[in-house]
Amino acid sequence: MASTGAAPFWRAAGMTYVNYANLCAKMVRNCLKEPHKSEAISREKVHYSISKWADGKQEKPSVRTDSPDE
Amino acid sequence: MAMAALRREGRRFASPLISPRPITAVRSSLISENEIPFGVRSISTQVVRNRMKSVKNIQKITKAMKMVAASKLRAIQVKTENSRGLWQPFTALLGDTPSVDIKKNVIVTISSDKGLCGGINSTSVKISKAIYKLNSGPDKENKYVVLGEKAKAQLIRDSKKDIEVSITELQKHPLNYTQVSVIADDILKNVEFDALRIVFNKFQSVVSFLPTMATILSPEVVERESESGGKLGDLDSYEIEGGDTKGEILQNLTEFQFSCVLFNAILENACSEQGARMSAMDSSSRNAGEMLDRLTLTYNRTRQASITTELIEIISGASALEG
């Protein structure tokens, strides 16, 4: 029953369900033991560049990444 | 007036002599006189030899690209087939209803970042434009969200006013759900929609891809439809556990549905891309092989002709001396 009580709180904090689910998944991955842990963490690498458009012009793209070399 | 035309004509006649011959005109350059220096009797085969070398190199490159695409395809195909189980429950519950009448359309066009993969990118752009036209009306609004460099380049030409967000560099790491869900989250935050329409190429086999559209309705539209008892009327027969209201549940569900469907769509499109690249590279290395055969034939024939000419010259000279 705890989850039903908690649900409005993350929504009130401005998170979407996807964001919330990702956070939970990250917690679970961190609980794994070592050989499986690094393998599971390699599956959560994020890299892409997003840019908004206004009046038919592309604005400056921002890169979302979590790889350490950039 | 007439003089100008004449001058232009003259320039056109003179130009082939001045400009260096394009290498494509192998056959004609073999018989033309202006490439052979004065006093040389035999025909030079240098041009053909160079051309053969370059065709051979291109063939090597396309063969290597085909191999790379084939190995990438195998890895991604397994992932794609596994990801199909993600969207099927959502379609069973919420349905895939492209015909619901809504105001704000957002078309999510999925394409690749790299080219040389046949027609998959132009197919998805074409389908997106068709959907745009289909849904345009006096009080309706259409927007594009573009994934991938290639669809962006095509949509910039005539509909750059309607592009809302563009996302590139998806495939730097192997695709995973975390990445796609972060992208889905970004799209949800940045655009307002009544329905999201995801356009992608569904992978069927290495040579066939089905352009596909998946529709995701916003929670408000789903609620309206289920209450009015339209296509989603069955949704009311479900019982909701816990303290959440139906609106909250639906909002969570649509967000999760969007990320899952997008995950599958991106994987399907990446799989189609590798398949298309593989078949494109296969046919281009075959074409290079055919071209090489033709060039070898020309080369050998010319060589033979020059040998024969030399022999005739020697023999006739000898017989002239004897007689």
Pick from B176, B252, B259: which is nearest to A44 by CB?
A: B176
CA distances (Å), B242 to each of A20, B71, B239, in order? 18, 48, 10
Residues in B closer than 8 angstroms to A63, CB to CB, are 169
B38-47, B54-63, B263-272: range with lowest mean pLDDT: B38-47
Instruction: Give the minimum alpha-carbon distance from B102 to chain A in angstroms, rounded to a whole number.
Output: 23
Question: Residue B143: phi, psi to the nearest 5?
Answer: -135, 155
A62 → chain B, closest CA residue: B167
pTM exceeds 0.95, yes or no: no
Nearest to B244 by CA among A24, A10, A25: A10
- Verify whether the Cβ–Cβ distance A46 to B178 is below 8 Å: yes
pLDDT in tens, B262-315: 999 999 999 999 999 999 999 999 999 999 999 999 999 999 998 999 999 999
Instruction: DSSP for B262-286, please give it.
Output: HHHHHHHHHHHHHHHHHHHHHHHHH
Chain-wide mean pLDDT for chain B? Answer: 84
Each residue's pLDDT tens digit, B77-113:
999 999 999 888 888 888 788 888 888 899 999 999 9
Would you state the pLDDT for residue B321?
A: 92
What is the Cα–Cα distance from B28 to B30, expressed in whole angstroms?
A: 5
Which of B166, B242, B251 is facing A4, going by the closest CB pair?
Answer: B242
Q: Give the one of A16, A22, A57 whose C-beta lies nearest to B188's C-beta.
A: A16
ipTM value? 0.85
Mind spelling out the 3-state secondary structure of B42-87? Answer: CCCCHHHHHHHHHHHHHHHHHHHHHHHHHHHHHHHHHHHHHHHHHH
Would you state the torsion angle of the CA atoms of residues B218, B220, B221, B226, taken in this order, to the nearest 10 degrees? 120
